[in-house]
Chain A
Amino acid sequence: MISKRNRLRNVALVAGAAALSVAATGCSGGGSSASSQTKDVTITVALFGAPPPQKSLDEFKKSTGITVKWSTIDWDSLQTKIAAASTSNTYFADATDVDWSRVGQEGKLGWFLPMEKYIDQKAYAADMPQLSSFTSNGHIVGVPFDASYLVTTVNKQMFAKAGITTMPKTIDEYTRDLQKVKASGVSPTPLNIPFNAAEGLSTYWYQTTQAFGGSILDEAGKPQFTSPDSPGYKAAQWMVDALKNGLVPAGNINVSDSQGQQTLMAKGVTASTFADYSGNVGSLYDVPASSSVTGKLQYIPTPGLSGTTANVSNPDGIGILKTAKYPEAAAKFIEWFTSAENQADFAGASGPDKVMPGYFLPSRLSGLTKLTSAKGLAGGQELTSMLKTSKPVFPAGAPVWYPQFSNAVYTNLHAAAAGSMSVDAAIKTIADTATKLAGQ
């Protein structure tokens, strides 16, 4: 009979041996050996949003034999995990997020497998206007799974109360209308600009620069906004002036983009957001649980210098990591995940059972058309035409140093708005950063 002490010793030995083997396995590190198997495999998909309905995933499994293990990770942590796993050549997921702003970096580093190997590039490009944002060094790094582009939203009731019935088509008309809304007392602070030092401020500036008729960088990465006459400079000045002149709530110095949409626009505090999220009218402003202004907000073609202007796109994509265990199976999943039918269903075309929580808009024109005709999507026609003409922030693709550049944009524009530096100094610092990074 084994004594109690001996039994304890055996248990301890097994535990020690197990720990040793776990440590040895962990220390061996190394990447995965990829398999082309697509039947009876389990792939891991890591994205920042909630998964599609289990019923949809079950149908996918039934038709392909691929089980999807969905891992929801917040956006920042996801980028950290992608970087850590890729640099250490360790398996983390088969398919994961490819953000438009990281395409240059991730494309150069070869962290993702080229998608053109798995998809019909021509057919995808014709139906997905934002696919070009995911191209780096001639390779498609990821496929946009939802459409995200910046749009102008207006509380038409507040505008009407201020006597404005014709929507502005130019930035000057837009500014005058906002002043009119303010002067009428309908909203003392009618414009929402998120001045919190975060990515949302950078993208707001890109859209405003587009509205003033210009771009941020040329193809070589040279800044296009240094002269006071340049659109980028004027856009920065316009945004900061809007805060200083009281068009924007003073507290917006520390308000993020989503926070402003939820607490100011959806509550009727502000009357317009110049660079809002596409899809917000249907998914936020018209939802009684989150909004007190249901049915009162609409998209308007974004006002520009001498007429309406194009919308800047910032889509979310999905790609296959180079360390994926089952790249072929992951490709099948991406094809299914980004099909027109599923995209429309995820956005609510076939009722609540197939809705993917947090999903905005289909990235395929055919998906958007299907959605619009199926459920009368709020502003569906406007959104479809805006998606067709939407433009990437950087036509030549996001530079490899984009994250560093964006950090300089939002920290310095925030500082200019807070009054700790002038707009001129902020623009100069941003331009110097771009010049230095482009020259490296």
Chain B
Amino acid sequence: MSTSLRIKQQPPARDVRPAPGKAGRGRRLDILPYALVTPLTLFIVGLALIPAGFTIVEAFFRVQPLNPPDEFNGLDNFRQLFADHAITASMGNTAIYVVIGVLLSTVLAIAMAVTLQKEFRGRSILIAVLILPWALPGVVEGIVWGSIWDSNTGLLNSLLNSFHVIDHYMVFLGQNHFLTILGIELVQVWQITPLSTLLVLAALQNIPADLYEAATLDGCSGWTTFSRITLPLARPGITIAMVQAIIATLNVFDQPYILNGSAATGASVTMQTYFISFQNLNFGEGYALSLLITLATLAASLLVLKFVYRPVEF
């Protein structure tokens, strides 16, 4: 392939500041930009940064309304969390959710985005339909998929039985650990893949058509075109899709809670955060676990940035 394609650092943004003297006329402070960003800034500071700071501080305090007073207890909350088998088991479950969810949703998103990359009849309708699972609340999806996985009256059992694949109804969720996690995570993959697809598709649509034309002229196979042009140039979009998948899977709550109750076979870390904070009213440990989830999200996202993200320039 003769087409030269390079992935390189973007040049620094051009300095668009006006020449000295022009903006300084009258030395009047233009407050419009500040006024415009104020609501958003307040929103982010009030609903994200302050609670985050509060969580970090309180994670090192014993905060139990049933057992006052609140007092500094160092790393005790973290020690308690790691000594609790239910918590460590849920950490293991969540790690599997993340691995399955991120890999599967990314692969499916790339496949679907490539399919949707070229114009064809009904493409717009297909994109509109594609987004539906993402728009549905997790609880609704849990209920819908519950009737599919149901071991007594479920659709899947009924279908498998009709086609003589099985001779008696199977228990998909609740008995076998891995099968339970897989069944639950497939539901989440069904939910998060549409957004991942749109993110990857947006990246693909930026790829200049002449690169594909050049590849065709050079006689590149479909796979070569995909692996040498599509995939490398879609990396920014794939990175964002993977990060959003990491955030979603690390925080999975609705699907395991609706489909498998509180059973250890599928309980996630965020479920445990809920139980600790609002069932046991042990807010200190709840803050500590939330902080761990945040750190895990940050670490996993940084790994993706390091190994997947590459800036591209056309």
Contact = CB atoms under 8 A, between A and B. Distances in A.
Nearest to B153: A263
A253 B171 contact: yes
Nearest to A13: B35
A160 B55 CA distance: 61
B65 A109 contact: yes
B152 A411 contact: no
Residue of B86, B151, B152, B171 with highest tally of chain A CB at under 10 A:
B152
Interface stretch (A20-28, A168-176, A351-359): A20-28
A269 B171 CA distance: 17
Contacts of A259: 146
Q: How large is the interface on A (under 10, 10 to 19, 20 to 34, 35 or more residues)?
A: 35 or more
B263 A415 contact: yes
Contacts, number: 126
Contact of A407 (B46, B175, B279, B281): B279
Contacts of B154: 251
B152 A198 contact: no
A404 interface: yes
A410 interface: yes
A15 B283 CA distance: 36
A21 B51 CA distance: 19
B35 A196 contact: no
Interface string A173-206: 0000000000000000000000111100000000
B99 interface: no
Given A105-B66, A269-B152, A254 B171 contact: yes
B31 interface: yes
B265 interface: yes
A264 B152 contact: yes
Interface in A403-439: 403-404, 407, 410-411, 414-415, 418-420
B169 interface: yes
Nearest to A27: B46
B80 interface: no
Contacts of B32: 8-9, 12
B67 interface: yes
Contact of A418 (B35, B263, B280): B263
Interface in B40-69: 42-43, 46, 65-67
Nearest to B30: A9
Contact of B42 (A19, A197, A403): A19
Given A105-B281, A254-B174, A23 B42 contact: yes
Interface string B265-282: 100000000110111110
B216 interface: no
Given A198-B262, A263-B153, A20 B86 contact: no
A83 interface: yes
Contact of A263 (B31, B86, B150, B279): B150
Contacts of A15: 35-36, 38-39
A195 B66 CA distance: 31
Contacts of B281: 83, 105, 109
B10 to A, nearest CB: 31
A87 B65 contact: yes
A9 B174 contact: no
Contacts of B175: 253-254, 418-419
16 contacts: A15-B35, A16-B35, A20-B42, A87-B283, A109-B281, A250-B169, A250-B171, A254-B260, A255-B152, A256-B261, A264-B153, A269-B153, A401-B280, A411-B86, A414-B261, A418-B175
Interface of A: 8-9, 12-13, 15-16, 19-20, 22-23, 26-27, 79-80, 83-84, 87, 105, 108-109, 195-198, 249-256, 259, 263-264, 267, 269, 400-401, 403-404, 407, 410-411, 414-415, 418-420, 440
Interface of B: 31-32, 34-36, 38-39, 42-43, 46, 65-67, 86, 146, 150-154, 169, 171, 173-175, 259-265, 274-275, 277-281, 283
Given A19-B43, A404-B279, A414-B261, 6 more contacts: A9-B35, A79-B278, A251-B154, A256-B261, A411-B262, A414-B263
